[in-house]
Amino acid sequence: MSEQPPATIEGTEDEPLDGDDPIPTPVSTGAGSVIRALEVAGVETCFGVQGGAIMPVYDALYDSEIRHVTMAHEQGAAHAADAFGIVAGEPGVCLATSGPGATNLVTGIADASMDSDPVVALTGQVPTAFVGNDAFQETDTTGLTAPITKTNYFATDSDSVGDTVGEAFAVSGSGRPGPTVVDLPKDVTNGPTEKEPGEPRTPSTYDPQTEADDEAVERAARTIERAEKPVILAGGGVIKGEASAELRKFATEYGIPVVTTMPALGAFPEDHELAMEMAGMHGTGYANMAITHCDVMLAVGCRFDDRLTGGVETFAPDAQILHVDIDPAEISKNVEADVPLIGDAGTVLEQLAAEMARAPDVPEWREQCQTWKDEYPMDYAAPEDRPLRPEFVVEALDEATPEDAIVTTGVGQHQMWACQYWTYRHPRTWVSSHGLGTMGYGLPAAIGAKVAEPDRQVVCFEGDGSFLMTCQELAVAVRENLDITVAVLNNAAVGMVRQWQDAFFEGRHSASQYPWVPAFDKLAEAFGAQGFAVHEYDEVAETIEAAVAYDGPSVIDFHIDPGANVYPMVPSGGDNGQFALSEDQL
């Protein structure tokens, strides 16, 4: 990135503007250079909410061709930018004012940080002279966001602020992606400057290693060749590193079963015969058997989160771990790597493939994996005379939408059913809140995803609790006429909490049941979206068809079995191989 030539300014004498290129925003103030920096970085869309300290930036945006989606709440802006980043593979940009605007962004920034999603947040700040005096709407934004950003910046002068924004953009999107924040005091954005910002570049102190050391590659290849029970554990880094094709090639060429982490849904096609699908707390039985019994684990772009590993003492206890990651700090952080392979996922997979002399000879192991698939099928009982099963709804929506439809979710049981019963076949079709587990992520994420990919269908699964946290963003979906389908899996409870209370708190339902739940179909109508309510099996298919056909945002309130629980389950800190198939096995 740092090697790139300085920006050529379109529309100057040496490079006349052609018809299709956006007209560059003229730079006369710091704010103009902030917006110009975004244009130079190729930003075409941003999400945000206006306010006092950020007004100069919005004023400059007024002249720009960058599309701004005004959100209902700054948390929504951050999640929308995050989902945009996930789907587009380049940083999503969000804007907020100082004080409450910035603090409202915090949840979304923390979410992006936990999931390594590229997000650039620009926050207004009180004028420099007022900073530290508890001025109106002052908050220490760089202090607040330091632990939840890849890095952050406090802009100090109008001439350099554009380059700072460029750097924030470059850092956010490169290496292991993550959120960055630029805090913009009003005097800096209002101050005069004519300085054109250059191309985004990362600072000289930031230079991620992309190629693994030869010696490590050699050792890893020998280990895989000799493996008796090899498994590939694909993490979210496979998707972020655009390495799905390399992964597929490697797995099929050497006949190695592939388990995915939750953020990696779609990194490997789930209908492939080598696919063992998701492992971890609510992973498939067969995935958890495979990772527990493997003797070599090629882990690519994952961070061994506790929801994946369960107790580390019993995690893949016989396995040599070959850990590919672009972030050296992930190596041996939670689980010791026998062979560290620091580098970019796709590059290292290619290095490994080039070094492999033969495939491991493991037909029996593949057969064993298949046996586990037959032994522990992902199945559910759905008798017609009983309340609607959520798994059925997930499968019905999957069936009614194209393969490349994008799924977003809130957090709770509904999110887990969306993991388990939708078949993910392509990278960047799964958009969820994994590491932070932020209820209310689904709808703003659906907005961000749809804005990034207007031609693809977007389905959002929400719970009745989670949906209530951000449902005001329906106003935005209607205003922007975004054709998204929201499926509320309504069990009149914060179901995931209720499930844990049943399993671990003797069924004491403290603050987890809703005696009354809004009519989400009517709520949707009040916002100007299309609303549907479904109670019976025979209404499912036709309602989905109508909702998907509707040109604009629609909400289906699915009244599901309030007793439905998510299984298999590995209790926190548990042994993956001892997953429970029902509550009495916990």
Ligand X SMILES: Cc1ncc(C[n+]2csc(CCOP(=O)(O)OP(=O)(O)O)c2C)c(N)n1
- Which residues sit opposite 122 in a β-bridge? 95, 182
Q: Which of 73, 323, 389, 414 binds ligand X (CB under 6 A)?
A: 414
Interacting partner of 350 out of another protein, ligand X, none (Cβ under 5 to 8 A depending on kind): none
Task: From 249, 254, 285, select the one nearest 269 (Cα to Cα).
Answer: 249
The answer to whether 298 and 324 are in contact (CB under 8 A) is yes
Q: How many CB atoms lie within 10 A of CB 50?
A: 16
Q: Which of residues 366-385 bind another protein (CB under 8 A)?
A: 375-383, 385
The answer to whether 241 and 427 are in contact (CB under 8 A) is no
Question: What is the phi-psi region of residue 316: left when phi exceeds 0, alpha when psi lies from -120 to 50, beta otherwise?
Answer: left
Q: Beta strands 45-48 and 67-70: pairing type?
A: parallel
Q: Extract the tokens encoding 514.
A: 């809703």
Q: Least distance in Å: CB of 234 to ligand X?
A: 25
Q: Least distance in Å: CB of 458 to another protein?
A: 24
Cα atoms in the 13 Å half-sphere on the side-chain side of 554:
21
In the stretch 142-181, what mask flags binding to another protein with x, by CB under 8 A? xx--xx--xxx-x----------------x----------
Binding residue count for ligand X, defined by CB under 6 A = 19
What's the rounded Cα separation, in Å, for the pair 77 and 213?
A: 40
Q: Closest-CB residue for ligand X?
A: 463
What order do you get walking across the sheet with 458-463 strand by strand? 430-431, 406-409, 458-463, 484-490, 554-559, 530-534
Interacting partner of 154 out of ligand X, another protein, none (Cβ under 5 to 8 A depending on kind): another protein
Q: Which of 217, 227, 439, 449 binds ligand X (CB under 6 A)?
A: 439
Q: Which of 47, 84, 304, 527 binds another protein (CB under 8 A)?
A: 304
500 in contact with another protein (CB under 8 A): no
438 in contact with ligand X (CB under 6 A): yes
Q: Least distance in Å: CB of 109 to another protein?
A: 15
What's the rounded Cα separation, in Å, for the pair 436 and 289?
A: 26
Interacting partner of 200 out of another protein, ligand X, none (Cβ under 5 to 8 A depending on kind): none
Instruction: Find out whether the peptide bond into 26 is cis, omega within 30 degrees of 0.
Output: no
- DSSP reduced 3-state for 449: helix
In the stretch 461-500, what mask flags binding to ligand X with x, by CB under 6 A? --xxxx----------------------x-x-xxxxx---
115 in contact with another protein (CB under 8 A): no
Question: What is the phi-psi region of residue 332: left when phi exceeds 0, alpha when psi lies from -120 to 50, beta otherwise?
Answer: left
Q: Which residues of 126-138 are buried (b: 16+ CB within 10 A; e: fewer)?
A: bbbebbeeebebb
Of 420 and 554, the one with the shorter C-beta distance to another protein is 420
Residues labelled catalytic: 74, 136-137, 186, 496
Interacting partner of 493 out of ligand X, another protein, none (Cβ under 5 to 8 A depending on kind): ligand X
Of 281 and 477, the one with the shorter C-beta distance to another protein is 281
Q: Which of 343, 410, 435, 531 binds ligand X (CB under 6 A)?
A: 410
* Residue 49, burial from CB neighbour count under 10 angstroms (0-12, 13-18, 19+): buried
Contacting range for another protein; rule: CB under 8 A; set: 75-83, 240-248, 252-260, 313-321? 313-321
Cα atoms in the 13 Å half-sphere on the side-chain side of 526:
9
Q: How many CB atoms lie within 10 A of CB 357?
A: 7
Binding-site ranges for another protein (CB under 8 A): 142-143, 146-147, 150-152, 154, 171, 203, 205-206, 285, 289, 292-293, 304, 309, 312-315, 317-318, 327-329, 331-336, 375-383, 385-386, 391-392, 395, 561, 563-565, 567-568, 577-582, 585
Binding-site ranges for ligand X (CB under 6 A): 410-414, 437-439, 463-466, 489, 491, 493-497
